[in-house]
Amino acid sequence: MVEVRSPLITDGNVATYFEQLLERAVSNQQLALNETTHAYLVGILLSFIKPTKRVGDHEIDPLDHPLALILAKVYEATPSQQLKLLQTLGDAALFISGFFPDSLKRQTVDIDYYIAMGESAYHTISTRSRNEQFFSLFRELSRKFTKLVDLFNEVAEDTRSKSDRDLLRLYDVWAKTKSARSERLLRERGIVLSPSPRNDYLQ
């Protein structure tokens, strides 16, 4: 069964810090989220303080494991381990896309690949779940994945100096994902944007 990580079992001060940052981002972006989804997102932020995870015989650090390698382990795992590995993949795709989009420029795949992988992983979990709560949770995570990346972008910026904001990075994220938040920030800075097609297919 997929584990829904809860911030209640971790350090209260850190949990409160991330909870406040996420609540502010949700309010700023006017995004409607179920309470369970909100708690799960805080859990992701907390879990990446110490990202190494053990799934069966596999010890995985999602920040060091390419998503393709995690996906390869899915096909070798038992059904219950497959769901946990897919959860790890989805969480990693969301966290990295939200917190480290610049790092993806140095890889052979880009942020749109991570978004597609994350959406797919969460969707697969939702279709396999027999629990209504888990079905609703992972369906929302999948359907709103790009908007959740925006949320994590804002949380990441709030944890760093405002001087780190990079106009070119914002434009690059918008060009790859058509992120509503990136578009708003660019327009606030007087950047004129023209529409371009987005490739939503997994490469």
Q: Report the alpha-carbon distance of residue 49 to residue 95 in Å, rounded.
A: 11
**How many C-beta atoms surround the C-beta of residue 49 within 10 A?**
10
Cα-trace Rg, the chain: 17
Query: Which 8-state DSSP code applies to residue 198?
Result: -
pTM: 0.70
With respect to residue 15, please indicate whether it lies within any of the assigned structural domains.
Answer: yes
CB neighbour class for 8 (10 Å; exposed up to 12, middle 13-18, buried from 19) = exposed
Q: Report the alpha-carbon distance of residue 138 to residue 141 in Å, rounded.
A: 5
Q: Compute the CA torsion angle 127, 104, 64, 26 (nearest 10 deg).
A: -50
With respect to residue 2, please indicate whether it lies within any of the assigned structural domains.
Answer: no
Quote the domain boundaries for residue 184. 7-188
**Lowest-confidence region among 112-116, 125-129, 184-188, 192-196:** 192-196
With respect to residue 164, please indicate whether it lies within any of the assigned structural domains.
Answer: yes
Provide the residue count of the chain: 203
With respect to residue 111, please indicate whether it lies within any of the assigned structural domains.
Answer: yes
How many domains does the structure of the chain reveal? Answer: 1
With respect to residue 175, please indicate whether it lies within any of the assigned structural domains.
Answer: yes
With respect to residue 203, please indicate whether it lies within any of the assigned structural domains.
Answer: no
Give the per-residue pLDDT at 6: 38
| 180-195 confidence digits (pLDDT tens) | 887 887 777 666 666 5
List the structure tokens of 9. Answer: 């079992």
With respect to residue 194, please indicate whether it lies within any of the assigned structural domains.
Answer: no
Contact 7, 19 (CB under 8 A): yes
With respect to residue 163, please indicate whether it lies within any of the assigned structural domains.
Answer: yes
| 62-90 confidence digits (pLDDT tens) | 666 778 888 888 888 888 889 999 999 99
